[in-house]
């Protein structure tokens, strides 16, 4: 699971798989982008 920041609306959201060549789509604003950073999130840390 990855934590990703949308460059358009600045929403931080979780994504289950690494970004593909097509990028990811922000669930809030619908912007399609390739993330600059992907932070690995360990569910056991919460």
Task: Give the torsion sign (CA, 28, 31, 36, 40).
Answer: positive
pLDDT in tens, the chain (46 residues): 888 999 999 999 998 877 677 889 999 999 999 887 666 766 666 5
Alpha-carbon torsion angle 8, 19, 27, 37, nearest 10: -40
pLDDT of amino acid 21: 79
């Amino acid at each position: 699971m990855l934590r990703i920041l949308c460059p358009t609306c600045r929403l931080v959201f979780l994504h289950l798989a690494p970004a593909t060549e097509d990028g990811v789509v922000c669930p809030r604003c619908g912007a399609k982008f390739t993330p600059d950073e992907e932070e690995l999130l360990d569910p056991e840390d919460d």
